[in-house]
Amino acid sequence: MENMTITEEQVREIVAQACPAKDYRGKKILLIVPDATRTAPVGMLFKAVHSQLGAATAACDVMIALGTHPPMTEEGICARLEITAEERREKYGRVQLLNHEWDNPGALKAVGSLAADEISRLTDGRFAMDVEVKVNRRVFDYDQLILIGPVFPHEVVGFSGGNKYLFPGVSGPEVLNFFHWLGAVVTNPMIIGNKWTPVRKVVDRAGAMVGVDKLCFSMVVRGSELAGLFAGSPESSWDQASELSRKLHIVYKEKPFHTILSCAPAMYDELWVGGKCMYKLEPVLADGGELIIHAPHIREVSVVHGKLIEQIGYHCRDYFLARWDEFKHIPWGTLAHSTHVRGIGRMENGVEKCRARVTLATGIPEEVCSRINLGYRDPASIDVESFADREEEGVLLVRKAGEMLYHLRDQPEWAGGSLEK
C-alpha cells in the first residue's frame, strides 16, 4: 500500500490481510527487526502483528537484526518496540526478546556456500571465490520469519531492506564481510541509490538459502511518518518500497558543495553508524571540498570494531588494493567501512590522494582523529547556524544527516554510471 501517510488503523488492516490468524494457529513466528539506528515506527508494526497473531501462535518472538552492531539491552529493545516496562510484563511477557550473535560461532548454522562460479556471475566477474553462508541457528526453530524494517538508500547494497534484514542482519561474518567489501570495490557513489547492484544479488541469493517461510513488511518513512507499507516476500515488498524510497529519499542538487556540515542525529552513537553522514552526501561533495561530521555526542569510533579501525585508519579503496597483502587478513567489512567514510580516492606514485577531506567535529579526541587519518575540529567551535542558507556560496547544511541521499542531477565522471537493469 502506498500513501503519503499510513495510519495505525491502515497498518492493522494491512497486517490482518497479510497474516490471517487462522493460518497461524499453533505456529511459532519470529519477528526480525532493526536496532535503534534506523528511523521507523517499528513499534507500530510489532504491536499490529502481535495483536493479530499473538493469541493464535505458539510463539511470537523478536530478534534484533544487529549485523555487527553492539547488542541491545532489554530496555533498549522495549524502546525500539515502543512498549513500556509495564506493558512488557503484563502484555508481552511471552515474547522472547533476542539479540543476534554474529560473533558467536555456536549461535550460527551453515546453510551452504556460494560457489566461486556463482559469485563470479553475481558480481559481474569482480570476484571468484567460495563464500560460506551462515545464519543465526535460532531462525530454524520457527515456522515463519516476519521481517520488519524500513527501506532507505544504502551505501553497501543500494537500498536497504528486504533480505538485508537476514544478511547481514542475522547472518554470520563470512558473507557479511564478503559483500561489504564487494560494495566498497564497486564504490559508494556507484552503489548508493541504485537498486539492482551486485550486492543486492548476493543478498537475495543468500536469503533464498534460508529454508524457512518468510514474510516481509517493508516500510518507507518520511520524517516521523509512515509514507508507505508493502507486504509480501522479502524480494517483492522491497522492490515496491525501494521505488517509493527513490522518490522520497533522494534530494537532487544542481552543483556540488565545497563545504558540507553534516549533523548526525542522536541515534548514531558511534562513528561506525555515524559514517552515514558521509555516505549519503559524498555524491554532492566537490573535489577538494570538506565534509564535516558534526556530532558532539559521538565519543567512540566503534565499540566492536574500534581497535581494528585505529590499526588501519580511514583510507580510500585504492589504498587498500595497492597494499592488499598487508590488509587482506583484516575483516573485509571493516575495510569497507573505512573506505566508505574516507570516500573516493586514488594512489599516485605510492601516495594516497583522496578526492575530498572528511573532518570530525565530535567527542573523539584530536589525537585519535589524526591517528585514523581524519581531520579534527572542536565541536564547540562549530556554529551550526553559520552554515545555513549559503547554498549559493557552495556551503550546505544538513541538520539530520544519514538517511536522505543527496545527489547531483548530472553525475560527475568519478561517480560512474547506473547499475540498474
Domain for residue 3, yes or no?
Answer: no
Last residue of a domain, one of 248, 273, 291: 248
Question: What is the pLDDT at residue 186?
Answer: 96
Domain assignment present for 287: yes
Q: pLDDT by residue (tens digit) across 318-370?
A: 999 999 999 999 999 999 999 999 999 999 999 999 999 999 999 999 999 99
CATH of the domain at 28: 3.40.50.11440
What distances in angstroms separate CA 12 from CA 23, 44, 241, 299, 368, one per listed residue? 17, 9, 18, 40, 48
Instruction: Report yes or no on 2 lying in a domain.
Output: no
Q: Examine the domain organization and report whether 279 and 234 are in the same domain.
A: no
pTM of the predicted model as reported, rounded to 2 decimal places: 0.93
Mean pLDDT across the chain: 95
Are 184 and 258 contained in the same domain? no
Are residues 269 and 141 located together in one domain of the fold?
no
Q: Is 145 exposed, middle or buried (0-12, 13-18, 19+ CB in 10 A)?
A: buried
Q: Which pLDDT value is given to residue 415?
A: 62
Q: Is residue 65 part of a domain?
A: yes
Mean pLDDT of 302-324: 96
Which of residues 217, 248, 279 is at a domain's end?
Answer: 248
393 with 308, same domain: the answer is yes
Number of structural domains found in the chain: 2
The candidate with the shortest Cα–Cα distance to 309, out of 343, 274, 335, is 335
pLDDT tens, residue by residue, 82-105: 999 999 999 999 999 999 999 899
User: What pLDDT is stored for residue 410 in this prediction?
Assistant: 83
| The pLDDT of residue 417 is above 70 | no
pLDDT value at 39 more than 90: no
Same domain, 385 and 329: yes
Are 188 and 267 contained in the same domain?
Answer: no
Q: How far apart (Å, rounded) are the C-alpha atoms in residues 98 and 162? A: 20
pLDDT tens digits along 245-297 = 999 999 999 999 999 999 999 999 999 999 999 999 999 999 999 999 999 99
Cell of 227: 509514507
CATH code of the domain in which 397 resides: 3.90.226.30
For residue 185, being part of any structural domain is answered with yes
Same domain, 285 and 270: yes
Same domain, yes or no: 237 and 312: no
Residue after which a domain boundary falls, among 248, 276, 303: 248
Residue 421, domain member (yes or no): no
3-state secondary structure of 262: strand
- Do 237 and 304 lie in a common domain? no
In which element (H, E) is residue 48 found? helix 42-53
- pLDDT confidence of residue 224: 82
What pLDDT does 411 receive?
73
Report the 10 Å Cβ neighbour count for 247.
13
Say whether both 230 and 309 belong to one domain: no
Provide the pLDDT confidence category of residue 419 given band limits of 50, 70 and 90: low
Position 414 scores a pLDDT of 59
pLDDT for 421 equals 45
**241 and 325: one domain?**
no
Range of the domain at 193: 8-248
